[in-house]
Structure 1
């Protein structure tokens, strides 16, 4: 690496660390104000989750769909049937060649191209809604967080559960001391997408059970632009084990397995309620890491320092067959997925839609605090209202970026094979060389993030 490149990277890290050191950092927001009072929005990725985002956001009468983009011709044709006046693209890089009539962009591509579809919008000063996880790796999360702060636009990561009333009530209970000081949290999910035996894959409802990268090639479907789908990932022949989604989740080149898929939703609750920032130490447990495929089952422990009047806390993550000891010993209800907060005055168990204060007998007469987390009009609608200057988003990139970083660090520790001591300012592990897992080292030509 040249001295110039090293200098540029040091300068980038210094600037970026200043942004993410404070999750609640604020910046001036560009709100929408035009005679037509309509938002012109471009949609990148319009099938699956993207199709759902398109349907929900476009149902707002103040939204005008001006551009559609998808590498899947079937998805694009289907969306274009409804929005006949919208420009059509299969390459989002070409979409960004004409942005004068675009106010905002919705990104719903595969995980490995989230940052690449988001960064041009931020640089052009466009508001962005991006599906979870925000990025494919730690370096991208830091870069997107900084770019959003610089742009001063309205952003939202697609963690729809964040808008639900159950999460709101849990945050209120934890932050008002319902169970006292929390020094331990356990989050587990039953899903097990990743490396596992064919028998386990069938039992867990996995999509594929291959153990290594296929050596044979297959002809891509005629409606799929495989080269554009690969994006920044190194070229490889098409095979049905990668496409369609969610098959690609399990491959490191394209996703980060269960942690990346569900960590955005499940770790969000503890991150929000406990005002977490950057962990200083991360350790992961599981089978020997595979060079190509994320693990189906694993666990990780994040150690966070004290924050204001909140004590230091250890956050434990479990996926697949891994579960907390207290769960395995049946000392708590056997929920398939959940988050357990352990305080010095009790425990709180939550999933997406319900929560319990434990031991239940000790909380029979408990009076919940008056709600102080505002109700959400809906995760998508909140983003639209924020653009119009009528609200604030609940999961802006200033929050979602650091959350995404923390999630990725669990996988980084797993792939390194040892605990990592994390220096968030320098964006590096201080006790081991983890650089190759923090960023995509060799993106394909034409796919640089900068």
Structure 2
């Protein structure tokens, strides 16, 4: 375990670092990497998805895992990572890890949604390359900050929507780019699975002692303080709670809408409207339908194009809604892109399917997969490129999170001015682009 750092010492160090980074470019804080160097990686969040992110990145022989951080010291979290990489320094507080910033070059951030930006932003300000799980952030404003920080500090970034690099999604994108289905008229996307992480309808009363291996205050981070209860929050069911996540749309939107964004070359919507089951101030909705309108692109049939999202148990468009023959089988989650010459089904995750008589004998050319994890690591070394960098994944995340705002303000037409970060149509809309932060945990904005 790393040497204990008092709160006073941490704040003094953070202040000095912030002052220095205001006068020095990020590269002056970062190690200059040569062709024979290994990328020194620190992983923040080593359990659950963090475990696979860590292992898949470490699969490159050009990566050296030098630091591990998790608020849970049990075997399933920090414990197993420390066993696999015994030479790596271990931490339970990411702020202490960043105090040792000269010892690593890049960070993997695999925490609950609410901590993505608060960790990633200061890391980028220190000149560190960042791989961050999806959705990129918890708020629209945070997503914009992440995009601006990556550009300002000239670091290599990647969002963890790894299916983008799968042959299935890459093949679907190329089919649209090649004009196989003609110009696109509209898109429907869905995730019709049950939200199994919603265990209660409101915050339960009471509290229980925090287990010795869990650092609960560090898990809460920027979120308001609340008592510990087992199973309800850590380590998986936090997705149900508005303070920590973006619900089903936040969980799957950056995956399922990703090939749609890439195929149509979408940027920012101009409007959004949603229908959703009622919500209190704690738990996310159980079913929604969100419709965005985007400016048309070279791949769309008209000057605008609509993308509609559905989620909730068994909630998805019907064949009749889509004008499809009843024999066409739709996946439980995925998208259908309706084109002038036919339609393209993009399952989540399986090879795309063409719908239409003209495609009976069409053989789909498969686009080879990329390695989403090692390509980021190698890009940090100047040897590859990251396809879901924050310049791309930032606007994708903004779109997804605008959908969650629309769900909070259901049955309201909202207009989005991306250039000026303005959301209008409801008195509360603009305020929902941001959120308050716990005192002493405010993010380091650029």
Range class of TM-score, shorter chain: 0.7 to 0.9
- Residue 166 of structure 2 contacts residue 370 of structure 2 at CA under 8 Å; is this kept in 1? no
Distance in 2 between residues matched to 1:262 and 1:378, nearest whole Å? 20
Matches within 5 A, 1:196-235: 206-235=196-225
CA distance in 2, matches of 1:299, 1:323: 9
Whether the 8 Å CA contact 1:112–1:232 is kept in 2: the answer is yes
Is contact 1:31–1:388 with CA below 8 Å preserved after alignment? no
Q: Secondary structure at the match of 1:96?
A: helix
The corresponding residue for 1:22 is none
Q: 1:205-232: CA deviations, max 9, x gaps?
A: x134311111211222221111110010
Match 1:299 to one of 289, 297, 309: 289
Match of 1:127 among 115, 126, 129: 129
Counterpart position of 2:11: none
In the TM superposition, 1:11-160 aligns within 5 A as 33-34=33-34, 37-74=37-74, 75-160=77-162
Distance 1:95 1:31, change over 3 A: closer
2:261 alignment partner, SS class: helix
Matched, 1:339 2:341: no
How far apart, CA to CA, are the structure 2 residues paired with 1:38 and 1:334? 45
Cα separation, 2, equivalents of 1:93 and 1:272: 35
Show CA shifts across 1:133-155 (max 9, x none): 11111011000110001111111
Name segments (4+ residues, structure 1) moved above 6 Å.
none
- The CA deviation at 1:449 is 3.6
1:36–1:347: structure 2 CA closer, same or farther, 3 Å change rule?
A: closer
Whole-angstrom CA distance in 2 between matches of 1:207 and 1:367: 40
How many correspondences in the alignment? 405
Deviates more, 1:207-216 or 1:393-402: 207-216
Partner residue, 1:357: 354
How far is the alpha carbon of 1:331 from its aligned partner?
6.1
Deviations 1:60-99 (A, max 9, x none): 2222211111101112232112222222111111111111
Indicate if the aligned counterparts of 1:192 and 1:258 stay in contact, CA closer than 8 A: no
Task: Give the alignment of 1:379-394 within 5 angstroms.
Answer: 379-394=372-387
Preserved contact between residue 231 and residue 444 of structure 1 (Cα < 8 Å): no
CA distance, structure 1, for counterparts of residue 85 and residue 278 of structure 2? 48
Q: CA deviation at 1:49?
A: 1.0
Structure 2 equivalent of residue 324 of structure 1: 317
1:277 to 244, 254, 267: 267
Report the Cα offset of residue 448 of structure 1: 2.7
Q: Quick one: structure 1 residues 385 and 442, their matched pair in 2 at CA, closer, same or farther if it must change by over 3 Å? A: closer
Equivalence for 2:20:
none
Is 1:396 matched with 2:384?
A: no
Kept in 2, the 8 Å contact 1:208–1:241? The answer is: no
The corresponding residue for 2:421 is: 427
After superposition, the C-alpha distances for 1:220-246 in whole angstroms (9 at most, x for unaligned) are 222111111001001111122533332
Gaps of 5+ in 2: 1-29
**CA contact under 8 A between 1:31 and 1:386: conserved in structure 2?**
no
Mapped to 1, the partners of 2:193 and 2:400 lie a distance apart of 16
